[in-house]
Amino acid sequence: MLFSIACLALTATPGPDMLLIASRSVSQGRSAGFASLAGIQTGTYIHALAMALGLSQLFLIVPLAYDIVRYVGAAYLLYLAIQVFRSSGQSAFPAPDTQRYAVAEMFWQGLLTNLLNPKMVLFVLALFPQFVRPEAGSIAVQILVLATVLNLIGLLVNGIVILMASHMGLMFAGRSRFRRASQLFLGTVFAGLAVRLLLEERR
């Protein structure tokens, strides 16, 4: 219960993930929002598995590893920002024949954005061990259960955000100025997250 409350406080607080998901939903629709969320939550499982295997400890033992992931993540976000700015004149909502490709692309972008965020690694390292009980059985299974709880709560909170944001996007979808503005907003989000990642220091 205490872990669930901590997860609810985390997911309900506006942050980079929520901003990314909301901007995707506004500019490209509900499918893009849920696909981005699925990628982010898959990344959470990968971080949890890395912790269970002890790989996450590398960030504490080798500080340079943290900086490398941080710089690569920032470069990837800047790349996405440039791609969005270049396509800002296109329709915000993909045509039916490109929907499958667009959804898959949103998933992989969400996954890579999550994996290349070193803050997520440190969050898992800081929170999860407090709720792991060695005497309760497999530590790896417990960590995956905790990751599932986090993802389920995230699905509930961010699902509401996606539905609200995509509805707002549909309301203004016919306006060319809104389509361009929503794409520019998405590109600005990517660029802002990249700058934020570059300026942050490990604490």
| pLDDT tens string 154-196 | 999 999 999 998 888 777 665 656 566 666 777 787 788 778 7
CA atoms within 13 A on the CB side of 98: 9
CB distance 189 to 19 below 8 Å: yes
pTM of the model: 0.76
Domain boundaries, the chain: 16-199
Residue 76: per-residue pLDDT? 80
pLDDT at 85 over 70: yes
Residue 64: per-residue pLDDT? 78
CB distance 172 to 76 below 8 Å: no
Dist CA 183 CA 198 (whole Å)? 23
Q: How far is CA 190 from the centre of its chain?
A: 11
Amino acid occupying residue 114: N
How confident is residue 93, by pLDDT bands cut at 50, 70 and 90? very low
Residue 177: per-residue pLDDT? 64
Is the CA virtual torsion 149, 151, 153, 155 positive or negative?
negative
